[in-house]
Structure 1
């Protein structure tokens, strides 16, 4: 929380401040060596963060840009891992260690993208989020194959890697969809909001562990489960439960994001500490050589990402000449922006730290050092450069969401007004009640048809005044019930009951005012 408050004042991104806090905490003796096993990091943080990201990602936009997303989350990861392996091997690492390093630093990090990329245009943000949701699964498959190769348990071959990919992706997606269906049916039958949200919290971990049991992609299982529920749950879950769910997950994701970056800072010294020996060598790799590998790998990652994005775009443009495809085209400036926003994060470090510690992998310390260097350089350098690159890219403002929001509100009100007489008859409502609701809806519809940008239109002015007056009255009512509690006229339980009602109404009106 402190890092998020300080970041705007320091004019840096919150993850950079949180990373620095983690490093500073290592100066306190009690925090030295504090950390979690890599497998625990993946289990505690990855399912929850990926699940919330998948719940709040637009499935329609994923479908629209599915080709680019799949290329970035699969082909780009494999190519990046291969280029990194070639660079690292040319500078002194053996092929097995080089491929492990490539798998660790190849995927972008969903957490870092969500934290640092909030200013990105909607299209680029959607593609990057979707890419980051899937590419961890690709990287973990490459990592598993590379780990076996480095231990002398097999050779890297195209059929082997392809088979691993197919099984991992299909198995993970199947587990995720199955868990999503089961949890949706369970949620339909759970009326208690607290119990329903407890099931929601458990859902990503069930999907993750279920895929782990069959050695499929746990990452893809969580993502598939989240996307399925985001599509099917709106009509199956009560409004009260959903409001509580959003509050729980918003806070949880905020806290987990912050804790993850602080944890990276805490673990960096111990992660690179094994690199230092009295002789200044790292298991046969001189310190200067490892630093050179780190810089070369970081530069290679950026160049590879930009080249693959540009080349794949022009190949698609040459092959697919449909008018629809032309509408999806973007500029090379936008691709530079996407390259800058391709952050590496804690998942990469967790993968590197999960390498078994022992003589079987003699270059483990060098891999961890290079991965830590890439993570820090990515968060700091790219995080600080991204706002300037976004301005330089000059991407036109996307007003599609605003337009669709107005269409949705207008259509919902129009159809509700059409059904109003029938619904009033069914419940036996008085004519006065009917006219009162109809006038409120008509006023709202008139303001929408006028457009809320027209501040001088009488309907818009009245709607804004109505909302503001309701908010002022809520504040007055809240002050009154607090005074009654202080005067011992009412109990604290009564205060909390009324306060919950007032809070719900205030939140609704606040959201309404934000969209006006």
Structure 2
């Protein structure tokens, strides 16, 4: 390991340079990283990369899921719960079923159980790839919320399918009653464990004498502890991390200080930035090892199988997207659904085209054991690994490179947001300033009359200014201003709960501003 350290250091530098290049030419960085890893892997003298599945599942996956849970809005997830759960569970199952049937039909010796193994691996789209692409184009908030919510749940549903298929391959039988019981425990146990451990960490943050550094280290430990605890009792570690992350994210302003929130945000963004970069580079670097394992199947045949499976995934997701719209249009005549407006034909097309595969598919494929419990080799393991790589590569290239073009060409109109986001943000700031002025005049009227700085602060808010002057103020005024910031946060939380149409990212943006204001008080 130590002798390869310069190589990994060089890989890190290459990752940074490629990401900067991707940002410059406005291409999703996972595409460049996978291609670069592929090119580097064929350079003579490059160390052979053997990716251990535990490296992906236990090192990379928990923090990436946890960070995604902190980023996503629970309110938006609940608002679009019907379509999110449809894509995360129904569409994933239909994709896995389509892959299983086609693989069983076209690949010699490929049983239906092996087909579901492959289907469970390649069925979940990768949120990182979609997020990297959507960064360069403007899409309606509803679409990004649906994709974020789906990405948190589809990993769990696909891995559940994968686990049951693996059991069927190993035992050559499938007992429905036992599978149903295990399925229920994976979901209920995973969610329960995630919420319990998340609640314990929340209390630890709140009642122990922690500072910002300790809070950040605790936050880094949280996803790993939740994941390992859930996996030890054979429930879903993915659902556990997602559940715990959503709980802590929704209560972040109750147990973390402003300094912990600000510093933690920067640490987590940098940490996940590096993890994502390494994962996509490793996908490309591992291809030679995967190709060497193709002994019984010729390389052209294996590539052909990968292309067919990729087409099956693209077509099944597109059909499912339009099917979901049709079901919604019919169901809204009989039941209350999340939104009654017609999304047209453009929105489901974009949702259907965001089907790039990535980290979870790679991890699941690598976790297939080389040998079964009876000592026999796992059937078609190397072919499954190769097909998974082809699916990841083709979806990143085909859908990843064309998605920005389609988004710009289609010109989606946001039928869900009543007013533009910038306008909504400015309106919220104005209302918050009015609330702050009213609160000061009501509760600190004497101090306002006796302190010119408070009067100046009120005047600046009335003129729609930003923040306060970087001038030294007395301790008593700091106490008043801290109290005001606390009340403003409460007002924002209540406003977020009361107005279900208000984009929560606007609330979080203003919360971030208040955290910065509180930190400024430490230096003035």
Aligned residue runs from structure 1 range 239-318, under 5 A: 239-275=258-294, 282-283=295-296, 285-318=297-330
Residue 173, structure 1, aligned to residue 197, structure 2: no
Deviations 1:367-423 (A, max 9, x none): 111110000001111110001111233211454533442343222211211121355
Normalised by the length of structure 2, the TM-score is 0.80
User: Paired residue for 2:92, among 77, 81, 85?
Assistant: 77
CA contact (8 A) 2:318 2:353 kept: no
Q: Distance in 1 between matches of 2:102 and 2:190?
A: 32
CA contact (8 A) 1:108 1:344 kept: yes
User: Paired residue for 2:354, among 335, 341, 359?
Assistant: 341
Counterpart of 1:216 in 2: which secondary structure? coil
Which residue of 1 is the match for residue 394 of structure 2? 377
Which residue of 2 is the match for residue 4 of structure 1? 19
Counterpart of 1:154 in 2: which secondary structure? coil
Shift in Å at residue 264 of structure 1? 1.1
User: Paired residue for 2:76, among 55, 58, 61?
Assistant: 61
With over 3 angstroms needed to count, the CA separation of the structure-2 counterparts of 1:200 and 1:325, relative to structure 1, is closer
CA contact (8 A) 2:441 2:448 kept: no
CA contact (8 A) 1:141 1:164 kept: no
Which residue of 2 is the match for residue 19 of structure 1? 34
Residue 100, structure 1, aligned to residue 120, structure 2: no
With over 3 angstroms needed to count, the CA separation of the structure-2 counterparts of 1:327 and 1:410, relative to structure 1, is farther
Q: Distance in 2 between matches of 1:367 and 1:351?
A: 11
With over 3 angstroms needed to count, the CA separation of the structure-2 counterparts of 1:67 and 1:167, relative to structure 1, is same
User: Paired residue for 1:42, among 57, 65, 69?
Assistant: 57
How many residues are treated as equivalent by the alignment? 451
Residue 188, structure 1, aligned to residue 206, structure 2: yes
Residue 401, structure 1, aligned to residue 398, structure 2: no
Which residue of 1 is the match for residue 364 of structure 2? 351
With over 3 angstroms needed to count, the CA separation of the structure-2 counterparts of 1:147 and 1:421, relative to structure 1, is same
CA contact (8 A) 1:47 1:208 kept: yes
Aligned residue runs from structure 1 range 312-331, under 5 A: 312-321=324-333, 325=338, 327-331=340-344
CA-based RMSD of the aligned residues comes to 2.9
Instruction: Note the residue ranges of structure 1 that are not aligned, 5 or more in a row.
Output: 276-281, 445-462, 471-503, 510-516
Shift in Å at residue 346 of structure 1? 2.2
Q: Distance in 2 between matches of 1:14 and 1:367?
A: 25
Which residue of 1 is the match for residue 506 of structure 2? none
Counterpart of 1:255 in 2: which secondary structure? helix
Deviations 1:109-148 (A, max 9, x none): 2222222333343211111121111111111111111112
Q: Distance in 1 between matches of 2:111 and 2:165?
A: 12
Shift in Å at residue 185 of structure 1? 0.7
Q: Distance in 2 between matches of 1:415 and 1:11?
A: 41
Counterpart of 2:253 in 1: which secondary structure? coil
Deviations 1:477-500 (A, max 9, x none): xxxxxxxxxxxxxxxxxxxxxxxx
Q: Distance in 2 between matches of 1:286 and 1:437?
A: 74
Deviations 1:275-301 (A, max 9, x none): 1xxxxxx33x34333222211111110
Q: Which has the higher contact order (CA 8 A, sep 6+)?
A: 2
With over 3 angstroms needed to count, the CA separation of the structure-2 counterparts of 1:78 and 1:163, relative to structure 1, is farther
With over 3 angstroms needed to count, the CA separation of the structure-2 counterparts of 1:136 and 1:326, relative to structure 1, is closer
Residue 228, structure 1, aligned to residue 247, structure 2: yes
Which residue of 1 is the match for residue 171 of structure 2? 152
Shift in Å at residue 428 of structure 1? 8.9
Q: Distance in 2 between matches of 1:352 and 1:219?
A: 16
CA contact (8 A) 2:96 2:122 kept: yes
With over 3 angstroms needed to count, the CA separation of the structure-2 counterparts of 1:85 and 1:336, relative to structure 1, is same
Q: Distance in 1 between matches of 2:44 and 2:140?
A: 43
Q: Distance in 2 between matches of 1:137 and 1:105?
A: 13
Q: Distance in 2 between matches of 1:64 and 1:428?
A: 42
With over 3 angstroms needed to count, the CA separation of the structure-2 counterparts of 1:228 and 1:403, relative to structure 1, is farther
Q: Distance in 2 between matches of 1:10 and 1:439?
A: 45
Deviations 1:208-258 (A, max 9, x none): 111111111111111111111111121321111111011101111211111
Q: Distance in 2 between matches of 1:146 and 1:174?
A: 24
Residue 32, structure 1, aligned to residue 51, structure 2: no
Which residue of 2 is the match for residue 386 of structure 1? 403
Normalised by the length of structure 1, the TM-score is 0.81
Between 50-59 and 1-10, report the one with greater CA deviation. Answer: 1-10
Counterpart of 2:463 in 1: which secondary structure? helix
Larger radius of gyration: 1
With over 3 angstroms needed to count, the CA separation of the structure-2 counterparts of 1:423 and 1:197, relative to structure 1, is farther
Residue 112, structure 1, aligned to residue 129, structure 2: yes
Deviations 1:124-178 (A, max 9, x none): 1111121111111111111111112112342264x44443332211111111111
With over 3 angstroms needed to count, the CA separation of the structure-2 counterparts of 1:209 and 1:30, relative to structure 1, is farther
With over 3 angstroms needed to count, the CA separation of the structure-2 counterparts of 1:434 and 1:8, relative to structure 1, is closer
